[in-house]
Structure 1
Amino acid sequence: MEPLTNPDPDQYSKALELKFKGSNKSGKIWVFAEEGANFIIEEDLDQVLQGRLTSHRMANYISISVVYAKCNRLEQNPLWDKMREISTRMEGTPWLIGGDFNTILAHEDMVGSETNRQAEMIDFAEAIEDCRLLDPGFDGAEFTWAKNGMFERLDRLLVNEAWTNAFEATRVTNLPRVSSDHGPILARCTMPRPPSRVSAFRFQNMWVRHDGFLQLVQDIWAQPTGASGLLNLQTKLARSKKALKAWNKEVFGNIHANLQAMEEGIAQAQANFEADPTPRNRTEINKNIAEYILLFRMEEDFWRQKAALRWLADGDKNTRFYQIWVKQKRVRLRIHSIIVDGREIAEETEIRHSAVEFFRSLLAPGHPGA
């Protein structure tokens, strides 16, 4: 922040809802941080305030250099030298340097002025190259400063290679100028995702509805292990776990996608029957619907099991939520009765469908039963 004034920093802390962490000796650079973060000043100079930022959001600290450069080329030279000096200490440490550099890097960074800035541009470019800094790019306003018909990009952020390794992405946005001839710069960094862990084995209740489940378990359990006692039991359990995971992927796959595909199959079978109402096409409808109901019950088992812990944690509230939800979200299936094996079976699928959607909603963020 570049205040160019000397009011009480507490006033700005309240407005920004951030803690004031210090300023440089000239009073032209101020630093604020959120609750739970701290900025430790390491160097306090006229043109740069250097320090390290720690936060509960990050495992390690990062280095930040806030710049407010002089306007004169000769006076800027100490800043470029200081940048080079800081960079030698930043090997392996994420480092961001940014602020008002009061110069440009290319002719495209300036409109409305014919001043020859070539020498300044070279000085700045050489300092960036020597420090091995990278420009992450930006979106938003093309120029960060405007006055009397002149527009320039004087403010920017630069990062080192360690910074690009510490964060998955850095997005820089040049915000509109509001109460100053300079526009603020917003940097947003994406933290790296934690390494994915191998998912734990979990028995799925829906498996027992499949005709091949019991035989699969029996076949695995009957295989000899060459061991006895607890080692024999451990080996059989390990084999069962491996076989069931493979069987689940092969037979069930994505049960939700399978259910949707089955619905499309029923619709196609119905269309075929309407076009050619033969007993064969009627039987095909019945077969598809029977398979659909079985798969539907399996999906209901899946969602019921997945939501069980949350359901038990607050049963009364979930019960009330479910009653209201069913009244508001009743979903009627197209088929209410089918003929299977020569006998009519009345299926009350309306509430079953609502139950599945309800269990899905329990896992969504912000639901009343969470």
Structure 2
Amino acid sequence: MLKSLFWNVRSVRSQNSFHKIQMLHRHHKFNIIALMEPFQNADNIQRFKRRLGMECSNYNCNEVLVDFDQMLTLKLLFLENNQYLIISIMYAKCDAEARIQLWNDIYCISNDIQNSPWLIGGDFNVIMSDEEKIGSLPVYPNEYEDFAFCVNSCDLEEVNFKGSPFTWWNGRIDDQCIFKRLDRYMMNQVGLGYFGLVESEHLARTGCDHAPMLLTCGQKTDVVRRPFRFLKFWSEHAEFQHVMKDSWISEEADLSINEEVVRVKEALFETSPTAGNREILQKTQAELKKQKTCIQWFTEGGKNTRFFHNKVRGKRKRLSINRIQNKDGEWVEGEDLVSAAAQEYF
């Protein structure tokens, strides 16, 4: 399990700000704490490390690190499985032209670490769409299209979050009030495949214009019983009717419906691969993948592309339910509580 805190915190040396960091660390026990504070020197960073009880520290105090002055990239090793994780921490400039260099740097890194899990997060100082801003003047596509193009080109996917959709507030409470989502986590497809569970939470802003971002990465240990799904291409097999009849009408008449379904499923899997030639099997595989992705224009030959696997993973991610609101209006998490709330409602 990996827990991290990314926060563009104002005046981290102040007692209130650092006390909030300490309280969050005691509660969540972070493995990684990334503070985007531009006016700190190395001595202060070492002092923060000791007070937080963190073993290692690294910093980029307004200086260029491997030619990336808006991004700090680290390579971390998980000792339990010798797996590396690349982490890039963002502190983007306010100027749109200056951020273009950051998008180029992100693209260069993505080409170098295509086979490694990669987490990228922090303050990007730009929104992704007009839905991520409230107040002030309207947003035009040319203000964020470079960022969106960078994300798509690097095959990055946003981490689902809970909490307020806006991570930045300009501190005004009148008609000049502005809310934006400037901070976010993203991960490449290798990282999403490595971690079975990736969730983000936007915590409450306390004495700061940016919200702290909590990230939890881990492996799902609960085994969920998968429902039986009938695959359409089975019915196109020449032996389908025969296999179905022989499996269902058997001497073991006392089997339950679930056991009968399992018997038919096993028989179909045993029969199908041994019959027909390679062309038929490839066509069958394509039909299976087409049904999985629900893409009507899916063509043969694209079944092993990165696009297909991203599509399947994205669909599973959208269909997963991590939290639910019960009849009392309270949000509950965890498979047991979610299941109980759903059963009670329906």
Q: TM-score, normalised by structure 1?
A: 0.46
User: Over alpha carbons, which structure has the higher Rg?
Assistant: 1
More helix by share: 1
Q: TM-score, normalised by structure 2?
A: 0.49
Larger RCO of the pair (alpha carbons < 8 Å, separation 6+): 2
